[in-house]
Structure 1
Amino acid sequence: MHMSPVRDDFRRSQLAIAALFFLLGFQYATWVSRIPALKARLDLGEAQIGLLLMTCGVGAAVSFPLVAVLMRRFGSRLLSVISALALGVVLVALSVVPDYPLTLLVLFCDGVAVGCLNVAMNAQGAALEARYARTTMSRLHATFSAGSLLAALLASGVTAFTGTLAVHFGLAAALLAVLVVVARPGLLTDDAPAAAQDGPDQEQDGPDQEQDGPDQEQAPAAKKDRRRFALPAAATLWMGLAMVFGTVTEGAMNDWSALYLKDVVNAGAGLAPLGIAVVSVMMVLARIFADGWRTRFGDGRIVRTGSLLAGAGLALALLVGGVVPTLIGFACVGLGVAAVTPCVYVAAARQGSDALSLVAAMGTTGLLAGPAVIGFIADATSLVWGMAAVAVSAAVVSLCATRIGWPAPEPHPEPHPEPHPEPLDGRLAPDAG
């Protein structure tokens, strides 16, 4: 049976936006997988490699002011295309860059481009949910992991034939360009104006717009956007904190789970990597199904319950000890935090592009600084206390989630017959405190 035009349009845009998430995961994993080759070609030490990774993260974290301006000026569709193409250029530059200082500059630019694409693609995903009243953000985030997996497989295949970075990165950049060309027609075009007008002040703006007209209201609206940029609303800060502690939990599990299994639980060398595998697999599986849970239970309940599950499961595993209880606790973390990032991104997007940019930057900061903080705690005490801090971090996400105005669950997840921008604005305002 032929699908309705609404379903066709939703699926077309969903696949296009998913391509952006896939692209970001693919690009990052491509160059990270070749760090040994970069190290050998540039004759770098361990500390210099650490600075390379830090520089990329710093670029993404400090990109917030630039991203906010670019989102208001160009919108998420054009910014997605530009930043995605820039990531391909970064790969080509990394394959030919002659020295370490220029490599640092290239990776700083990579971090800025990552920050731009991260905000723009999540704005696209949030706009898609709002337009069709259907949840999809969790599946979109799952495609990021799929991109990382494919990049790792491609790296393994290419290095079996040649160790030349130019061949590998050139092939990867070409694939990124193809993805951008294929995805571009399906990206949403009208999300930027809506994002600029939504948020808590929307109802107050409505009467003024009817009285003064859109032309007279344009300048005050721009000034209001600048005020929000300078002084974020309390709700935006709570979202940012939830994102920080959520990404701290994610990043710390990826960086410290194997070492915990080996040094604390005394797992064998073959079992230690299972910590990362368990967390990753549970996160991907949960994100595949989480959109249905969001539709049924609502984003707020999913974030609160999931983060509590992550914190409690990990804390119990630390108390009990043993390989199997520890892996079960790690699985609880992967399951519990999987939907945190997608849900918070959707909530931030409803407040406008400035809020989304700030929350994304705070999330990057948590992902960057979290594993290091856990390392400092472990060095001062023990790795058990370091992992206990991860459990506390997950519980803090649940606390922050109680202060965020989440949308109510959609009683009818099917798309409306004729979606258009007017109902979209109404759905962007939080309707549940």
Structure 2
Amino acid sequence: MATAPTPSLDARRARGAVAALFWLNGATIASLVPRYPLIRDNLDLSNTFFGLAIALGPLGGLVAGLFTSRVMRASTSARVATWAQVGQVLLFCAVLNSPTAWAFAAAIVLMSATDVYTDIAMNAHGMRVQQLYGRSINNSFHAWWSLGAVGGGLLGSFFAGIHLSLAKHALVSAVIMLTINLGLRRFLLTGPDPEVTEDAPAGKVRIPRNLLLHLVALGLVGAFAASIEDSGFTWSAIYLREGLDASPGLAGLGVVFLVGAQTVGRFTGDRLVDRLGDRGAARLGCGVATVGMALALAFPSVPLTLFGFACAGWGVATIVPAVYYTAHHMPGLPSGAGLTIVNWLLRLAFFVGPPLVGRLSDVVNFRVALLVMPLATAAVVALSGALAAHRDTTQDVPDPQPISPSLGQ
């Protein structure tokens, strides 16, 4: 087995910059969650309409996802990731300051569209950095996303607890996030992404049927895992506030417990994946998530619900990184195609999940609606054969070459 190369200073700086991008993306999204109850009340929305408004976001993501591979080839992953993140922060402010229900829905759509570009570009840049390390570091990047979500969730909970206005919340958060974005750019890798420099066939890309079916299965694994995460993000604060009568500050902790446990799972996930493989890690995690959420829904209380969300977060921690890894390393696909198709399918969860839970909560109750979480974990187990059994982390290691820091070029 080949020995992984010692990463250069520039490679280590690039790893830190990519981690910061993941942190920013998680913080931006999670900071909204504790304010959802106030936004919904200010706009006088039912759970059904609120869920539909949130679900409209993936429509923007699905449309934007059709062009991400082309944009990545025309530019660089560093440039796309940083500028898309700027757009996401500005739209985050628009969500918080929406004057009407339809303005809120439109801001969610556009924010989701920019998130697609950020998501794919920062994952592609992270895999470029991983090649320089010669070992798995991908789960640690996603762990930084989770850390960002913890930070954003805590910040949002704090602002909710002190009853800070939504406008001031937007202003303070935007200053912090845009400052970090500007500071990290010069540490990203320079030049075009290596895969983009390879010759690619002209015209439309034809994907063999067996590869397409594999990508569909991977996308569904990601979609079901994402639906677990999305249920916590979209509904935890409202469920804790309305269903369990938690205070505004405490209600925001549902997403913090979910992503906090997810952070632990992702920081330890690389070792778990090395031992069990992506497939085995997914099955173990989904078992823990199923038990935890089943207990939380069977015996509803604030402490047990927070525990259930924590189990769900830890359980799905390695699944989305595993889906991206398998899709990115599938032979016979042009650069970015596997990631784009899987990411497009993954976002179906964000389109279907929120209105389904919202409608069930209006018609029945939140406890019944949140049964989608343990049902989704069972689906992940059923489709987990699409994930890699074990990884070969040496296959992507290129010949050593000098890497320079970048200004996002």
TM bucket, shorter chain: 0.7 to 0.9
1:125 maps to 126
Mapped partners of 1:130, 1:386: distance in 2: 42
Alignment of 1:60-75 (within 5 A): 60-75=61-76
User: Contact conserved, 1:132 with 1:419, CA < 8 A, in 2?
Assistant: no
Q: 1:281 to 1:318 in 2, by over 3 A?
A: closer
User: Contact conserved, 1:135 with 1:294, CA < 8 A, in 2?
Assistant: no
Specify which of 337, 340, 348 is matched with residue 327 of structure 2: 348
SS at match of 1:402: helix
Q: 1:15, CA displacement in angstroms?
A: 0.9
Mapped partners of 2:131, 2:45: distance in 1: 46
User: Contact conserved, 1:298 with 1:409, CA < 8 A, in 2?
Assistant: no
SS at match of 1:338: coil
Mapped partners of 1:73, 1:408: distance in 2: 30
Mapped partners of 1:122, 1:257: distance in 2: 27
SS at match of 1:63: helix
> How big is each residue's C-alpha offset from its partner over 1:226-272, in whole Å with a ceiling of 9 and x where there is no partner?
334999722211110101111122223455668888999xx785898
Alignment of 1:75-94 (within 5 A): 75-91=76-92
Specify which of 260, 279, 286 is matched with residue 265 of structure 2: 286
Q: 1:354 to 1:107 in 2, by over 3 A?
A: same
Specify which of 333, 345, 352 is matched with residue 369 of structure 1: 352
Q: 1:382 to 1:195 in 2, by over 3 A?
A: farther
2:59 maps to 58
Specify which of 360, 365, 388 is matched with residue 343 of structure 2: 360
1:44 maps to 43
Mapped partners of 1:401, 1:114: distance in 2: 26
Moved more, 142-151 or 60-69: 142-151
Q: 1:229 to 1:55 in 2, by over 3 A?
A: farther
Specify which of 352, 373, 377 is matched with residue 390 of structure 1: 373
Q: 1:92 to 1:357 in 2, by over 3 A?
A: same
Task: Kindly provide the amino acid, as one letter, of the partner of residue 182 in structure 2.
Answer: V
Mapped partners of 1:194, 1:20: distance in 2: 21
Q: 1:234 to 1:189 in 2, by over 3 A?
A: farther
Mapped partners of 1:95, 1:389: distance in 2: 28
2:147 maps to 146
User: Contact conserved, 1:304 with 1:399, CA < 8 A, in 2?
Assistant: no
1:114 maps to 115
Q: 1:177 to 1:335 in 2, by over 3 A?
A: closer
Alignment of 1:14-29 (within 5 A): 14-29=15-30
Q: 1:76, CA displacement in angstroms?
A: 1.5
Rg larger in structure: 1
2:382 maps to 399
Mapped partners of 1:313, 1:68: distance in 2: 38
SS at match of 2:400: coil
Q: 1:402, CA displacement in angstroms?
A: 0.6
Mapped partners of 1:280, 1:20: distance in 2: 17
Q: 1:22, CA displacement in angstroms?
A: 1.4
2:276 maps to 297
1:207 maps to none
Q: 1:148 to 1:385 in 2, by over 3 A?
A: closer
Q: 1:34 to 1:294 in 2, by over 3 A?
A: same
Q: 1:7 to 1:134 in 2, by over 3 A?
A: farther
Mapped partners of 1:289, 1:88: distance in 2: 29
Mapped partners of 1:89, 1:418: distance in 2: 40
Task: Kindly provide the amino acid, as one letter, of the partner of residue 328 in structure 2.
Answer: A
Mapped partners of 2:30, 2:377: distance in 1: 26
Mapped partners of 1:77, 1:374: distance in 2: 36
2:405 maps to none
Alignment of 1:259-274 (within 5 A): 269=246
Mapped partners of 1:63, 1:367: distance in 2: 14
Q: 1:98, CA displacement in angstroms?
A: 7.0
Structure number with higher helix proportion:
1
Mapped partners of 2:133, 2:87: distance in 1: 30
Does residue 419 of the first structure (1) align with residue 405 of the second (2)?
no
Mapped partners of 2:308, 2:39: distance in 1: 36
Q: 1:268 to 1:80 in 2, by over 3 A?
A: closer
TM-score for the superposition, normalised by structure 1: 0.72
User: Contact conserved, 2:289 with 2:312, CA < 8 A, in 1?
Assistant: yes
Q: 1:368 to 1:229 in 2, by over 3 A?
A: farther
Task: Kindly provide the amino acid, as one letter, of the partner of residue 239 in structure 1.
Answer: L
> How big is each residue's C-alpha offset from its partner over 1:297-348, in whole Å with a ceiling of 9 and x where there is no partner?
3323222332244335545x38975768877665443322111112212222
> How big is each residue's C-alpha offset from its partner over 1:345-375, in whole Å with a ceiling of 9 and x where there is no partner?
2222224412212222322321342243345
Mapped partners of 2:188, 2:358: distance in 1: 41
Mapped partners of 1:71, 1:236: distance in 2: 20
Q: 1:54 to 1:130 in 2, by over 3 A?
A: same
Mapped partners of 2:299, 2:92: distance in 1: 43
The count of aligned residue pairs is 388
> How big is each residue's C-alpha offset from its partner over 1:28-63, in whole Å with a ceiling of 9 and x where there is no partner?
2445555677679xx632157555534434322332
Mapped partners of 2:251, 2:89: distance in 1: 34
User: Contact conserved, 1:261 with 1:275, CA < 8 A, in 2?
Assistant: yes
Moved more, 156-165 or 87-96: 156-165
Mapped partners of 1:390, 1:401: distance in 2: 16
1:223 maps to 203
